[in-house]
Amino acid sequence: MEQRIGSSSQPLEGAGFDPAFVPGLTSPVSGETADAEPADAVGATGTDEPTDTAEAAGKAGEAEGTAGEAEETAGEETPDGPVFEAADRRARIVADHRGVRLSLDDQACEFRWDEIGAVETESPRFGKRFTVTVHTPDRRWYPIEIEATSRASFAEWDEQLDAVMDEYFEDEAPQAEEAEPAESD
């Protein structure tokens, strides 16, 4: 009698375990690695030496990348209005002229102001965890909890976030003054 040592179950496949299983759900993965040279960078002689045009394109790309990073950091340093920022040892939330950015450990997401349906804050009756939830128009929500050093910072954070929301968030509800006046006889 022959017996196997270990598990006899096969790994499961499907969308429940691998989101890439559903076509179109994730972006396609290219066969090349990030540090591999593109196929057109190989010289015409078949050697692995890159051609002059490939070198020039690579240097131009590097120059564009550094210039873009410089512009981006310059834009971050001089925001036009109020900025809300709260962080603890794991989580971080930033709301400014670009939108709302949430990060927890190594995961991060960014929402532009036109992608946000509502921003909700909640401070517990007991404890020191301040919760900010970003709601999107497609009925999804993204909560994040920030641990405060003291409960006194909850009021300060609420005021700062309200100032940012008042400045950048545009509510698309119709205004009362836009309603047509009633016709008189």
Helix (H) or strand (E) holding 17: none
pLDDT in tens, the chain (185 residues): 565 566 666 666 665 666 666 666 566 555 555 555 554 444 444 444 444 444 444 444 444 444 444 444 444 555 578 999 999 999 999 999 999 999 999 999 999 999 999 999 999 888 899 999 999 999 999 999 999 999 999 999 999 999 999 999 886 555 544 455 555 55
Q: How far apart are CA 148 and CA 127, in angstroms?
A: 9
pLDDT of residue 164: 94
> Which residues neighbour 160 within 8 Å (Cβ) at sequence distance 6 or greater?
82, 83, 84
Helix (H) or strand (E) holding 134: strand 129-135
Q: How far apart are CA 101 and CA 85, in angstroms?
A: 10
Phi, psi of 109 (to 5 degrees): -145, 155
Q: What is the pTM of this model?
A: 0.52
